[in-house]
Structures are given as structure tokens and as C-alpha cells.
Amino acid sequence: RMSTRNDKEEFIPEAAAAAAAAAITPSLSAMSTTELDRGHRVGNFWSYPDFNPAKNRMRLIPAEAFEEIAAFAVQKAEGLSYADVGCNSGELTVDFWTSLKRTYDSSSPGGGALPSSRALGVEIDPTLVSRARERSSDPTLTFSCGDAGSVPFLSAALDAGLGRGRRVTLVSVFSTTMWLHMHLGDAAFYAWLGYVCSRADHVLIEPQPKRCYTAANKRLRKM
């Protein structure tokens, strides 16, 4: 289910920002085994777009969602900004940003110029980041490599890619929350969500169901 409301006050503890900033994840150290575990430790599957194509996932997002977000950005008059956390090799990031930016650009009242648009993809795996950069020729879309589960890193990446202290129009977290949750634990994960909500006007999450947690834990116990 997709929601474009920011409901942080309903589920985020009061000390979310402080707890999230203090959280340290083991994800970067787990990256050293990627060629052996094929992404089963932090979810950086090199073949993910092959078995879950971006075009299939885009069909699940209604056009009204792009229209609502674009209309919000036009009304706010500060430009459109988008961050995709856990972007893998960028297929979905590129397709999503292309659709969102096209909708925004066509939403100008009277056809006048709109404030500029900027987008950022964040991914822990340098191989996947390289593929994403090769895939996109859009100068408004950049990619940053690092552990998005670390709030200090994510904050710095958002500042560098989208503007210091800028509130992001939309942050998406596609099929990444499980990996963050498993590495951070409950409290720090909720705190991380609190930080994301504090930086975004809208948050779009594609969560993994319980069966994915069960399968991931079984694979990890074998490693």
C-alpha cells in the first residue's frame, strides 16, 4: 500500500533523531563478502533487476501518485527533489524519476518556468553505483555510494546531492527496509524512519513481508 502522508508522529519515538544518529550498522563490513554471499547479507543483489524488473514495479504506482507529488512541489515553489534509498543499479530510480520529473515539468500553471529539480540515488555497493551512473545520462540525477543505514552518512549525502538542510519532496525506500531493520534492530530502525520522515515531505516504502525475513534469516544462518 502506498501513502503520500507523513505520519511520523504516529509511530516514531520522541528521541528518534538522537537515537538514529547514534546507530552504527555492520553493513559496510558485510560488504566485503559480496562476491561470496551474492548480496544475501545486505540485499545488494547484482541481478535484482532481472528477477524484479523496474517496468513491472512501475505498473504498481498509480499516475495519481506522481500527479499529487508534483502538484505539492509546484505549490511549495521550492523545486522538486527526490531521493531513492537503496537504489541498487538504478533501473527503478531512473524510471521513477523520469516519470515524476515529466509530471512536474508539465504541471506549471500557464506553462511558466518552475524551480529546478534534483534527484539522488543512494546505494551501499560501489559496483551497483557504477552501473547506475552508467545507466543515467540525466544531469539532474546523481548517485552516492555509502551505508544509508548510517544517519550521519545519509544526512551528508542528502545535503550534498539535494541541498544542505533541504526538505526532500519525496524519499522512496524500495525493498530495502528489511535489510536496514535486520542490521539496525527495532529501536534504531524506528529511529532511522523518524529521521527520514523529518527530512521528507512524502515517504514511499515498499516493505518486505514476513516470509522474506524468514527466508533471509535461513540463508544467513547457512553462511
CA nearest neighbour of 179 among 49, 28, 32: 28
What was the pLDDT predicted at 223?
A: 67
Cell numbers at residue 135, please?
545507466
Flag whether pLDDT at 152 surpasses 60: yes
Chain Cα centroid distance, residue 57? 15
Look up residue 150 and give its DSSP letter: S
Cα–Cα distances in angstroms (integers) from residue 16 to residues 152, 191, 199, in the given order: 14, 4, 13
What was the pLDDT predicted at 14?
A: 43
State how far the Cα of 56 lies from the Cα of 138, in Å rounded to an integer.
22
Give the pLDDT mean for 34-52.
Answer: 70
Cell numbers at residue 89, please?
543499479
State how far the Cα of 139 lies from the Cα of 94, in Å rounded to an integer.
12
What was the pLDDT predicted at 32?
A: 53
Among all chains, which residue has been given the C-alpha cell 527466508?
215
Strands (E), the chain: 80-85, 117-123, 141-145, 168-174, 200-206
State pLDDT tens for residues 169-215. 999 999 899 989 988 999 999 999 999 999 999 999 999 888 988 88
Top-confidence residue, 213 or 133: 133
The amino acid present at 3, given as its one-letter code, is S
